[in-house]
Structure 1
């Protein structure tokens, strides 16, 4: 993540956590990721959850440039 984006995310967390009831940075990040996951499931998988991918199954490192 670019530092500017990270700083923006930290600011959103800092300034809204009391209003949103977010207790931790981890909760904030988890909520953001799961909202995006739900959007992608709706858009590409008829709103259904995909088959889970086990820990360690994702490729590591940066992908080659396209």
Structure 2
């Protein structure tokens, strides 16, 4: 699994962090998503898929 994010689309809602805290974080100054691990371990796959699904801006892209 490879993850990419579109920081331009991100609205800073933070849903991704709530679902996959080991993979996503937010910048302090504006809340925009920061990718901590673009190739995370497989055991986090379900959390990452959930984070992408709840992203209101659809800024998270997953390549299986």
Please indicate, yes or no, whether the TM-score normalized by the shorter chain is above 0.5: no
Question: Scaled by the length of structure 1, what TM-score is found?
Answer: 0.24
**Structure number, greater radius of gyration:** 1
Which structure: greater helix fraction? 1
